[in-house]
Amino acid sequence: MKQIFRKAYGLSDRAVTWIFVTPTIILLLAVNIYPLIYAIRMSFTNFYANKPGREIKFVGLKNYIKILNKEDIWETMQATAHFMFWTLLLQALIGLGLALLLKRNFKGNDILTTIIVLPMMLSPAVVAVFWTYIYQPQSGIFNYIINYFFNFGEFTMIGDVQLAPWSIIIVDTWMWTPFTMLICLAGLKSIPDYLYEAAEVDRASRFQQFLHITLPSVLPFLLLALLFRGIENFKMFDLVVELTGGGPGSTTELASINLKREAFEKWRTGYSSAFAVIMFVTIFGLGNIWVKVMNKVKEK
Amino acid sequence: MALVQLKGISKSFGSENAVNGLDLEIKHGEFFVLLGPTGAGKTTTLRIISGLEKPDQGKVLINGEDVTEMQPAFRDTAFVFQQYSLYPNYTVFDNLAFPLRSPFRGIPQTEIQAMVENVAKLLKIEDKLNSSVTSLSGGEMQRVAIGRALIRKPNIYLMDEPLSSLDAKLREILRLELKRIQMEMEATILYVTHDQIEAMTMADSIGVLNQGILEQVGTPAEIYNRPCSTYVASRLGSPHINLVPVSLFKHPSLPVGTEILGIRPEDLLIKSENNNSSNISSSAFSENWISGSVSLVENLGAEIILSLSVEGHELQALVDSGNSYQQGDSIQLNYTLDKALHFDTNGQLI
């Protein structure tokens, strides 16, 4: 191969390597690295993208200070944290539970798995539209089912200040639990049967088998699934915008929705760049800590 | 006391008969080896005794009690798996302590500590107690797996080819250790293997399995010297026994019905120009020498394996390394009469 290349085109191995890699590098620089650096630069200015003629002034850390002192930013952060905590927790528990059920061999196992995975394949915007109908106070099936069992009387999921944050948690969990389930299932299937057999002969109870064999083996997989879900949900946008639009008031206004408003409705480009950088650093930091934890668990 | 009895055990998977009407008795303190090739039903037998598999027919008795319907946890057996099957997320200590920490036992922590250290010393892995099991070598892993069984004092130890994935040298060491430990602890062991050397060296009794049927049970010497069939005869001995038609050696006075002669390689007598009296001492042999030639010489150091070509048959002979043979040498062949085994047309010993 080497010989042929050299003879035909007069290229060395190194040259061939560069020919293959260069397009990727250029693309990466153009669409990832350059915008990132540009955004960081803009975050130190008072740039407004809708006022092209205006002079751009360097303002130092003023944007950052303003953001960190603003109460409603902290509220969106809180809303995001609340959303992330509950979606990740629910998706971990339900996903692992479903995976444990589906691990057993029974008839129709494959079909059931496919059905459970379906929500994941839908578009978030479509899911959101569906759920606005499901959540309809008078005609929606959600209210009907809840009232059938608990009889709360009339209530609205999306319109209520107390319930709206939960409405988005429920939809995200409905849509993405299959994802954690699939990854947990892969983990569970990698555990050899003879470990359970050994434990059984060693007189381990079912609970002990779960604690000592299943859980340690599946935990790295679960943490990986949660890492993906965490990153996704930190920047959650489409589902929530379609479902609640951030409302009522700003109860479901997640950080990313607030950011979009600042950047593309109020056009405070410099200010929102600073916000974006803060979000980037946050998720980057959290992600790194998570990966460290994951590696610890894997080593053990 | 532990006495394990199998009565008429049958088990099939689909259309395949893994075990067929098996009767077996393992006495207290006995090292019993089940010998057979892959698919003979050895592992299935072990799994049935441990309770991991339920027999289709028959009964399992431990100390006279019928445990056929009992869960594995309550039979008090210890199983050493072929694939080690250590708990991957734990240290050697925790793996060894695992059976002791069962909620069905409730042994205090200090006692567990002492027992683990004891077993670790026995298996010479004391210095590895705090290592993760995934960092161990194959031999060490298997020691831990054996240790996890030894730490309990179960009715019976069930071992499923525990040494088969180790290299030859380690296998030899562990073989001796296992035998020593078994004698020290007076343990009852049912050991499954396809390796005849393991069977010969460790066993008090050997059971030879053939396609789910127990062909013969006896001491290693009995099985070697008086195999009940050509199948059993060819399972033991290396190089394996020569099975030749009775017509080859034209001997006049053989038991009635003899069709096949079984002659161990060490019982063949050879005369050649360079080595006049190899193997020939005082043993009685017939006067009918037959001629053949040497087709291959394998020097093992202390002994030489000769492959012989005699009237269209391939035979193997074991001779002292004091002799010198060359490929192509012509030889005269005979055998020690009273050592030969006589089989009928069905391969059964007469």
Who wins on pLDDT, B67 or A54?
B67
Please give the share of chain A, as a percent, with pLDDT higher than 70. 97
Residue B76 — pLDDT band, cuts 50, 70, 90? confident
Please give the residue of chain A at the shortest CA–CA distance from B159: A198
Return the minimum-mean-pLDDT range out of A175-179, A283-287, B134-138.
Answer: B134-138
Q: Does A197 touch chain B (CB under 8 A)?
A: yes
Q: Does B99 touch chain A (CB under 8 A)?
A: yes
List, for residues B15-37, the tens digit of each pLDDT value.
888 888 889 999 998 999 999 88
* Contact (CB<8Å) B50/A201: yes
Q: Which domains does chain A have, with CATH numbers?
A: 4-12+15-42 (no CATH), 61-299 (1.10.3720.10)
How far out from the chain centre does Cα A124 lie? 12
What is residue B320's three-state secondary structure?
strand
Please give the residue of chain A at the shortest CA–CA distance from B149: A202
Please give the share of chain A, as a percent, with pLDDT higher than 90. 50
Q: What is the DSSP letter of B273?
A: S
Which pLDDT belongs to residue B1?
A: 53
Q: Which domains does chain B have, with CATH numbers?
A: 4-235 (3.40.50.300), 242-343 (2.40.50.140)
- Are A177 and A98 within 8 A, CB to CB? yes
Which pLDDT belongs to residue B132?
A: 87
Please give the share of chain B, as a percent, with pLDDT higher than 70. 95
pLDDT at position B136 over 70:
yes
Tracing tokens 């993906």 back to the chain, one arrives at: A228
List, for residues B222-248, the tens digit of each pLDDT value.
999 999 999 999 888 888 899 988 888
- Are B158 and B190 within 8 A, CB to CB? yes
Q: B90 to chain A: which residues are within 8 Å by CB?
A: 212
Return the minimum-mean-pLDDT range out of A49-58, A253-262, B44-53.
Answer: A49-58
pLDDT at position B250 over 80:
no
List, for residues A90-113, the tens digit of each pLDDT value.
999 999 999 999 988 888 888 999
Cis peptide before B55 (omega within 30 of 0): no
Residue B275 — pLDDT band, cuts 50, 70, 90? low
Distance CA B266, CA B241 (A): 9
* Contact (CB<8Å) A203/B102: yes
Q: B85 to chain A: which residues are within 8 Å by CB?
A: 192, 194-195, 197-198
Terminal CA-CA length for chain A: 44
- Are B293 and B306 within 8 A, CB to CB? no
Closest partner residue to B85 (CB to CB) among A198, A208, A217 is A198
Which pLDDT belongs to residue A81?
A: 94
For residues B74-97, average pLDDT: 87
Q: Does B93 touch chain A (CB under 8 A)?
A: no
Q: Does A13 touch chain B (CB under 8 A)?
A: no
* Contact (CB<8Å) B87/A195: yes
ipTM above threshold 0.85: no
pLDDT at position B295 over 70:
yes
With the C-alpha atoms ordered B118, B121, B125, B126, is the resulting torsion angle positive or negative?
A: positive
Which pLDDT belongs to residue B274?
A: 66
- A282 φ, ψ to 5°? -60, -50
Please give the residue of chain B at the shortest CA–CA distance from A299: B89
Q: B98 to chain A: which residues are within 8 Å by CB?
A: 199, 202, 204, 212
Q: A300 to chain B: which residues are within 8 Å by CB?
A: 89, 132
Q: Does B79 touch chain A (CB under 8 A)?
A: yes
Q: Does B73 touch chain A (CB under 8 A)?
A: yes
Got the DSSP string for B285-315? --S--EEEEEEEEEE-SSEEEEEEEETTEEE
Closest partner residue to B85 (CB to CB) among A194, A205, A300 is A194
For residues B202-211, average pLDDT: 91
Q: Closest approach of chain A CAs to the CA of B312, in angstroms?
A: 49
Distance CA A148, CA A142 (A): 10
pTM: 0.77
Residue B330 — pLDDT band, cuts 50, 70, 90? confident
Which pLDDT belongs to residue A248?
A: 85
> Which of A203, A207, A217 is the best substitution to test chain B (most B C-beta atoms within 10 A)?
A203
Picking from A20, A41, A3, A74, the residue whose alpha carbon sits closest to that of residue A269 is: A41
Which pLDDT belongs to residue B277?
A: 53
Which pLDDT belongs to residue A281?
A: 93
Distance CA B79, CA B32 (A): 15
Distance CA B263, CA B335 (A): 7
Scored b (16 or more CB within 10 A) or e, B36-75 reads beeebbbbbbbbbbbbbbebeebebebeeeebbeeebbeb
Which pLDDT belongs to residue A9?
A: 64
Q: A198 to chain B: which residues are within 8 Å by CB?
A: 79, 81, 85, 87
Which pLDDT belongs to residue B281?
A: 54
* Contact (CB<8Å) B102/A198: no
Which A residues in the span 207-226 are in contact with B, Cβ-Cβ below 8 Å? 208, 212-213, 216-217
Residue A8 — pLDDT band, cuts 50, 70, 90? low
Tracing tokens 């083996």 back to the chain, one arrives at: A217
Q: Which two tokens stand for residue A53?
A: 């003629």
Q: Does A16 touch chain B (CB under 8 A)?
A: no
- Are B236 and B225 within 8 A, CB to CB? no
